[in-house]
Structure 1
């Protein structure tokens, strides 16, 4: 069996989508799936990771030629907004475009049950949920970098951290405001800022962050982030799955997350601490902003994790839960899916 595994705009797209494509190809190698990274109909299956215009063109040709089409649903209009400049304006026309594009697939691969529920509002094409997975090999030896990265960014434990592109949708405002409320705790966001691609509000939040809130920009070895961080704070408003979250779990880090549907599979108080938005649950804050951010709830959750034993307890359970998302655990699902289509 040969798969045409195409990633349009591969030279420009970074972050979680690029990591997912890398994970897929590592899984192919594990289970012996032959693949090419070029778009071609000289294959048993055409698997498209980003439904740009070239991918759509090949999908239409493949359907006429009788070649099964698989498309990953990494992109939705819901998670496109509040990312980079102009993405809010593009989110509305993106939805009808994606409806047509995803409708060309014989099978859609969704990274989570939440993503599948969103995609069901786009098309009735058959869906299969396959996690993006976590590459444990990528984290190997991360502990040895703790002293180096704490010293580089002047971080004292317990350090609250985040990993990924600095974008507003991922809860940037909440992260910065929580740092304001906790001046004795170090907060650090590891990941590219790309100021030329950011809107005015994002740049303002970064520039006006308190002294205890550091934005590192691109880091040459992402293992250093998981070595220097003690509490993974992920206040994202919208997420298809969250590879950085899976990595933090695999590294045994306790999680503080926003209580959104994407993370419904995580058990609050057992594998993470969840914070509801303003008006939701015990953490509701009277002074939350108009968007519903419950900053006080994040402060309370992080306060609870000043206790090293509690951090270790939550981190150990998160690490155990992450084993089901390892590349080895899910690799065979691709081979089975392709075999079913062929």
Structure 2
């Protein structure tokens, strides 16, 4: 079996999609499956990770030649908005484009049950849920970086933290407002800032954040983020799965999430804390505004001040994360490829 495992715009796309592709290729290596990263129809399966125009071109030709097409559904119109500059404008026409593009596949790979439910409104192509997984080996030895990264960013425990691109959709307003409400607590968001790609509102939120809210920008060793952080606070409004969440769970950090459909698989009070909030948001530039529901996040963080609560939730989270290891996920790819062939 030979797979054309293609990632269009590979040199430009970062974040969760890039991590997912890296995980997939590690799993293919473990399965000892032959694959090329070039788009080619000289393969048993054409697997595309981003349905750009070149991927669509190859998918059309693959179908005409009888080569089965597998497409990953990393991108939806729902999670495209409130990301980078112009994405809100593009989100509306994106859905009909993706409906046609995903419709070219013989099978769709959805990273979560929530993502699959969304895709069922796009096309009737068969779907399979396969987690992006978590690369546990990548996180080995994270503890050794605690002092270095706490000192570098002047962070005192318990630090509330988040990992990933700084974008509004991931709950930027909530994160900043929490830091403003809890001035005695350090907040740190580890991840690329890419200011040239940010919208005006996102830039304002970053620039006007309180002193106890640190935006680190890109960090060369992501293990440092998990070493320096104590409470993983993920107030995202929309997510297909969330690799950073799985990583935080893997290293035993207690996680606090917004109670959205994506996280239905998490059990509140057992392997996380969930916060139910209104989606209505209003944060003033003067720092005196408020976000509906932010009080619930404050209350949850106050519960997590107790080290015993953090240890219990973190331990349960680590145990739950084992089902997302690359070893646990890998065989699902082999089964999928055999099925489409």
1:98 matched to 2:92? The reply is no
CA contact (8 A) 1:278 1:288 kept: no
Question: Which residue in the other structure is 1:253 paired with?
Answer: 253
Give how far 1:44 is off: 0.2
Normalised to the residue count of structure 2, the TM-score between the two structures is: 0.96
Distance 1:153 1:255 in 2: 21
Distance in 2 (alpha carbons) for counterparts of 1:108 and 1:261: 20
Distance 2:210 2:302 in 1: 18
Paired residues for 1:1-342 under 5 Å = 1-278=1-278, 289=291, 293-342=292-341
The answer to whether the Cα contact below 8 Å between 1:78 and 1:91 also exists between their aligned partners in 2 is: yes
Mapped to 2, the partners of 1:8 and 1:114 lie a distance apart of 24
Contact 2:163 2:190 in 1 (8 A): yes
Contact 2:177 2:290 in 1 (8 A): no
By how many angstroms is 1:341 displaced?
1.1
**Any idea what the Cα deviations from partners look like across 1:18-75, whole Å, max 9, x if unmatched?**
0000000000011111100000000000000000000000000000000000000000
Shift of 1:298: 0.8
Distance 1:294 1:23 in 2: 35
Q: C-alpha distance in 2, partners of 1:119/1:341? A: 19
Q: Unpaired runs of 5+ in structure 1?
A: 281-286
User: Quick check: 2:15–2:164 contact (8 Å CA) kept in 1?
Assistant: yes
Q: Residue deviations 1:80-129, cap 9 Å, x none? A: 00000000000000000000000000000000000000000000000000
TM-score by length of 1: 0.96
Moved over 3 A (4+): none
- Aligned to 1:331, the other structure's residue is in SS state helix
Shift of 1:279: 9.4
Find the residue that maps to 1:128 and give its secondary structure: strand
Contact 2:110 2:129 in 1 (8 A): yes
Matched pairs, number: 333
